[in-house]
Amino acid sequence: MPHRTSRRTLLTATAATAAAAATGGFAATPALASAHTTNASTDSRLRRIIAGMSLEEKVGQLFVMRVYGHSATEPDQVDIDENLKEIGVRTAAELIAKYHVGGIIYFTWARNTRDPHQIADLSNGLQHAALAERSRVPLIVSTDQEHGIVCRLGAPATLLPGAMALGAGASRSDTRRAAWIAGAELAAVGINQNYAPDADVNVNPANPVIGVRSFGSDPDAVADLVAAQVKGYQGAGIAATAKHFPGHGDTNVDSHTGLPVINHTRAQWEELDAPPFRAAVRARIDSIMTAHIVVPALDPSGDPATLSRPILTGILREELGYDGVVVTDSLAMQGVRTKYGDDRVPVLALRAGADQLLNPPNLSVAWNAVLKAVRDGELTEARIDESILRILRLKSGLGLFRDPFVTHGGVDRTVGSRAHLAAADRIAERTTTLLDNPGSLLPLSRRTHRSLLVVGADPASPSGTTGPPTTVLAKAFGELGFSAQALSTGTAPKQAKIDEAVAAARGRDAVIVATYNVTATSSQRTLVTALVATGVPVITVAIRNPYDVAHLTGAGAAASLAAYSWIDVELRAAARVIAGRAEPEGTLPVPVQRADDPTQVLYPVGHGLSY
């Protein structure tokens, strides 16, 4: 492959922001090589670095680990206690010194992501600790910033529509732009690998773990948008990661808590699951994440894909021709721990073809197990060197050997910029989907429907949202000139709360109900039915999966929409659509089956009404 200058050299945070301002929030950069693209001269330099590493340093490079705290050297006492309990070190700097880890993953719950300046300082502190090591190899800093319902960096960072919302928008340009904005902001705070986009094809409405994290149910449409996001993220200077190979879209078990089995035939896998990953490889994606799922047609051993050589080496490496970094999904998840102990899992993942070992539950056990496997000859040092070379190619391509540090000035110019926030609002408007409007109630007029009640679900908010969905929606309607009261009734409202909502609805001109994963037995349906019985027009807004409408058919709602998430930007867009300040341009990226007969489709892929 031809050598390219690193993306960080081509597109610094400052230049990226200037380009964004000139193009409405998206830098129109030329197509750039994958960060693992290299040449003989670079490989020779990287091999010399590897040759100078001790075995302990080599093993450490394979691990990407969590650590508690907002600072690399001075975390709060609660974080020190957690680090001592789980990792046996006090600080991130001690973690790096003891285990020589090649990467750190940020989590909100690990208190890594308080605000952009703090994140940048943490990233810089981690890099200083890594460069103080004898081998002087910079870190990969990663996170899950899928947007939509999975965000680690909240406001003032720009929050964007998630994958299924972008699937509803069906715009490659918007999808790429969203990834570029997200990537530029991650790069500005020192995060250089994002575990996105989700390349799973969500063909199972009962999927408990993917759902709206997928672009949709059509493999070709998902493939197009995955490729667009790869180009967006990598064009902004960070590594993209397609997940979860070989495809987690048709599961009814959450691999965080169990081991899913997908019974697709090989032909079905080729048709349904493979296209987005093939598209990602063609787009020269930097990394691909494995799935803790069993696919008997691809490997009859019963091993999860993360530990399967036929899947990771036979299919991903040899058949798909992928030679970038393969990162496991978290090794703390139950799906990969069901069959083997925590000492065997990392060794088997490396034997299968993985390069980066993500977040083992006990780093000491995992690190020492890999070290022992090499010393005992179960893993050759040459095999370890192959993975380290891929990892160092990625670090080199990202410009980390040249300069891994970020600045507060770069943060201030990039994170949550006016251009980025405006682009997020425009993109979100184009994703909102109007499913039903039988009496043409929508759009609402302030002259006839000025007084509104907003009730409904209040799921745990993604990072950076400003409050429960009902509060955010009511505020959005207030800013549009309506009088709106918020009443949170929860995801499983009791009769007393339903009665309270009914009483509050009297005298209102319309009621908006935020619904969340409604089922046949959900009391959310009882709430909607009771509100309809007041005679006040009721509008339902599905704030996660768009399948809610199937269970509300017959309840008498005057209109139904899908927002695909309850982050602020998507709720504000739904309010503007309801108020007629924006057209409902989104169309369903998944089919909605009838609740009483799932073999029948209520609303097909592509359904969406306009005004």
Active site amino acids: 256, 329
Number of H helices, E strands in the chain: 24, 16
- Residues 6 or more apart whose CB falls under 8 angstroms from that of 51 comprise none
Question: What's the Cα-to-Cα distance from 251 to each of 128, 207, 208, 274, 292, rounded to whole Å?
Answer: 42, 5, 8, 15, 11
- Residues 6 or more apart whose CB falls under 8 angstroms from that of 22 comprise none
- On whether the CB atoms of residues 574 and 563 are closer than 8 A, the answer is yes
How far apart CA 292 and CA 275 sit, in angstroms, is: 19
- On whether the CB atoms of residues 285 and 233 are closer than 8 A, the answer is no
How far apart CA 103 and CA 247 sit, in angstroms, is: 25
Token digits of residue 571: 């709720």
Q: Which residues of 584-608 are buried (b: 16+ CB within 10 A; e: fewer)?
A: bbbbbbbbbbebeeeeeebbebebb
How far apart CA 454 and CA 474 sit, in angstroms, is: 6
How far apart CA 264 and CA 278 sit, in angstroms, is: 18
**Torsion-angle region of 321 (φ positive above 0: left; ψ -120 to 50: alpha; else: beta):** left
246 prior amide bond cis, ω within 30 = yes
CA 285 to chain centre: 16
How far apart CA 399 and CA 401 sit, in angstroms, is: 6
Q: Strand ranges (DSSP E) for 463-578?
A: 483-488, 510-515, 538-542, 559-562
